[in-house]
Amino acid sequence: MNLYEKFNQDMVSSMKEQNKERLTVLRMIKGAMQLEHINNKKEMNEELLIDVVGKQIKMRNDSLEEFKKGNREDLIKQTEDEIKILTEFLPEQLSEEEVDKIIDEVFAKVNPTSPKEMGLVMKEVTPLLKGKADMKEVSTKIKNILG
């Protein structure tokens, strides 16, 4: 069963169980997916689900930092719970060693000579790692290697 099918099944079971917190997060994902589907003519599939969930996690992490600065324990707990639910709909995350190996393989293939060629490297790395690793960290690693 792929992640998109799992998502749809979880949505139904959350409705049946009347799990309001989980259902709220799942409905938010579905709404964001429908918005992407309408605005950008993207097909409702696993790839779109991973994209949307990744963006939602990033937004929640940014909010989490602000809540911590403001000592809002109630919002911190709620946001952390939402992130836990969201991560269920991402593919299994790769270890740091696996990410490094993929980056090394791409460097061998692209053979960049200056930091100006970072775009070429990212273009090759992104499809391999998107949703499976934090792309911010991947970008930082590539900058360090090129820099």
The answer to whether residue 7 scores a pLDDT higher than 70 is yes
pLDDT at 63: 94
Question: For 62-87, what is the mean pLDDT?
Answer: 93
The amino acid that residue 81 corresponds to is: D
| pLDDT band at 13; cut points 50, 70, 90 | very high
Question: For 3-9, what is the mean pLDDT?
Answer: 90
User: Where in the chain is CATH 1.10.1510.10?
Assistant: 3-87
User: Where in the chain is CATH 1.10.10?
Assistant: 96-146
- Cα 10 from Cα 4, distance rounded (Å): 10
Count CB neighbours of 10 within 10 A: 19
Question: For 105-113, what is the mean pLDDT?
Answer: 88
The amino acid that residue 92 corresponds to is: E
Q: What is the CATH number of domain 96-146?
A: 1.10.10
pLDDT at 35: 94
Tokens of 1: 């069963």
- Cα 67 from Cα 65, distance rounded (Å): 6
* CB-based contact 11:26 (threshold 8 Å): yes
Count CB neighbours of 115 within 10 A: 12
pLDDT at 1: 67
Give the architecture-level CATH label for domain 3-87: Orthogonal Bundle (1.10)
pLDDT at 23: 94
pLDDT at 91: 84
Rounded to the nearest integer, the mean pLDDT of the chain is 90
**Which percentage of the chain shows pLDDT scores above 90?**
52
The answer to whether residue 27 scores a pLDDT higher than 80 is yes
- Cα 85 from Cα 71, distance rounded (Å): 23
The amino acid that residue 125 corresponds to is: V
